[in-house]
Structure 1
Amino acid sequence: MADGEEKKHHHLFHRHDKEEKQPRTPEQELKHHKNLEHLGEAAGVSAGAYALYEKHKAKKDPENAHRHKISEEVAAVAALGAGGFAFHEHHQKKDAKHDLKEHSSGY
């Protein structure tokens, strides 16, 4: 390696290149948080639906009711976490929208 070169650090699935990362515009930031909010909402709905499915299976299959009850509780916790993530991203989106409004009115 030459004297002025930095060694790039590789993670398991991707690389972090500090010099290649472009700063986001306020529009891109708003879109990013909006997409993540929708992703969190979809994950919450699907995990909630799976929890209800497992609750139904616990009633229908008394032999394996304990296993279904555990799966139901895990899915309920996942739904709660996804809902919290969506709530967090909603607030990030509101902040990004406020920044966009400031940025556009600043000119």
Structure 2
Amino acid sequence: MAEEKHHHHLFHHKDENKPVVEEGVYSETAYSTDGPGGYTETSEVYAAASTPEVDYKKEEKHHKHMEELGELGAAAAGVYALHEKHKSKKDPEHAHKHKIEEEIAAAAAVGAGGFAFHEHHEKKETKEEDEEAHGKKHHHLF
């Protein structure tokens, strides 16, 4: 089985086939002394690699996807919190355990909602950057 294995990760995907665009060249000159009255000059040339072109549509789609995952997580944690609340009423012997699990699920729901809210604003910011990069102007009056 000499098949190539692809590992899919939830958050970070690395695009190994993206070309690196070289934008500038700079040089550095250093001087050192060889003793009394003499010096040596050493020059090195470096090529500076710039950041690759940003694909705003791809980035916007990524933030939209992450926002939806955050919403889904918030909904799932909220449903689980309600389930535990119901269980605490139906199972008085273990009510304290169910109350604690309800509170943990509620906290997870709030966290996931905050993540979704964050990604929503990242998506909006990416959309604005895309519009600015393509010449669309915004007139902010307030």
* Partners of 2:80 and 2:120 in 1: CA distance: 24
Aligned 1:18-97 pairs, distance under 5 A: 20=16, 22=18, 23=52, 24-97=54-127
CA deviations over 1:20-39 (Å, ceiling 9, x no partner):
37454011110010000000
Structure 1: which 5+ runs fail to align?
1-12
Q: 1:19 to 1:32 in 2, by over 3 A?
A: closer
TM-score using structure 2 length: 0.58
Which of the pair is proportionally richer in strand?
Answer: 2
Q: Count residues with an aligned counterpart.
A: 91
Structure whose alpha-carbon radius of gyration is higher: 2
Contact 1:26 1:103 in 2 (8 A): no
Which of the pair is proportionally richer in helix?
Answer: 1
Tell me by how many angstroms 1:102 deviates: 1.4
Structure 2: which 5+ runs fail to align?
1-8, 19-51, 137-142
* Partners of 1:19 and 1:50 in 2: CA distance: 36
Structure with higher RCO (Cα < 8 A, 6+ apart): 1
Contact 1:40 1:82 in 2 (8 A): yes
* Partners of 1:83 and 1:94 in 2: CA distance: 17
Q: 1:75 to 1:95 in 2, by over 3 A?
A: same
TM-score using structure 1 length: 0.76
* Partners of 2:15 and 2:85 in 1: CA distance: 50
Tell me by how many angstroms 1:101 deviates: 1.0
CA deviations over 1:67-102 (Å, ceiling 9, x no partner):
111110110000010011011101101100101111
RMSD: 2.2
